[in-house]
Amino acid sequence: MIFQNKWLKYGFFLAILAVCVGCDQQTKLMAKEQLSYAQPIEYLDGVFKLIYAENTGAFLGLGDSLSPNLKYLFLVFIPTFVLFLFAVTYFKSSNSYGQFIGMSLIVGGGIGNLIDRIAYGSVVDFMNISVGGLRTGIFNFADVAVSSGLILLLISLYSIKKVNN
């Protein structure tokens, strides 16, 4: 790992988590206040939309029709357990900057959505993008952090694999 001091590593990890969770929770609060009873707001001729939605399922509403007990297991317990394992594995192995930041973003975004699941039973989503003829599902800042972290992690792992071959 690139950090010689473990406290610096932990501090940097906590700073990324704080930024992810803070931005996520603040933007969701703003979405609730500004968008929950408003018509969708379009920018760039509809390429980017702000539209309020509460997602009681997982990614793009998956699992929305499960029974309450199964939904709790699927949407709260399993993600919490996976985040815990991810963080433990993360601190035990040596990682590149890309891996470190990527995993930190994934954990931070996961915590942001997990807070909503536990506190409210659903996650606030409010952004939507159209690219060509394709339109994304409605998402939030935590989803952006998780997706960005995953992309950074995969690029980093691919780069390391390429260097080692």
Residue 7 domain flag: no
Compute the distance between CA of residue 77 and CA of residue 52 in angstroms, rounded to an integer: 26
Among 72, 123, 125, 83, residue whose Cα is nearest residue 106: 83
Q: Would residue 105 count as lying in a domain?
A: yes
Does any domain span residue 129? yes
Q: Point out the catalytic residue in the list 45, 64, 116, 143.
A: 143
**Predicted confidence (pLDDT) at residue 54 exceeds the cutoff of 60:** yes
Count of structural domains within the chain: 1
Is the model more confident about 71 or about 116? Answer: 116
- Which residue's entry shows tokens 């790992």? 1
**Active-site entry in 24, 45, 64, 125:** 125
6, part of any domain: no
Judge whether 37 lies within some domain.
yes
Report the SS3 class of residue 4: coil
Q: Is 141 exposed, middle or buried (0-12, 13-18, 19+ CB in 10 A)?
A: buried
- Report which of 152, 29, 52, 51 is spatially closest to residue 101, judged by C-alpha positions: 152
Question: Could you confirm whether 125 is annotated as catalytic?
Answer: yes
Residue 69 has pLDDT above 80, yes or no: no
Q: Is 0.95 surpassed by the pTM of this model?
A: no
Q: pLDDT for 99-145, tens place per residue?
A: 888 888 988 998 899 899 889 888 999 999 998 889 888 999 999 99
Q: What percent of the chain clears pLDDT 70, i.e. is strictly above it?
A: 75
CA angle centred on 56, ends 86 and 113, rounded to 5°: 35
Domain that holds residue 81: 14-164
Section 31-45 average pLDDT: 94
Is residue 24 part of the annotated active site? The answer reads no
Question: Tokens standing for 137?
Answer: 């599902």
Q: Is residue 118 part of a domain?
A: yes
| 126 domain residue, yes or no | yes
- 2 in any annotated domain: no
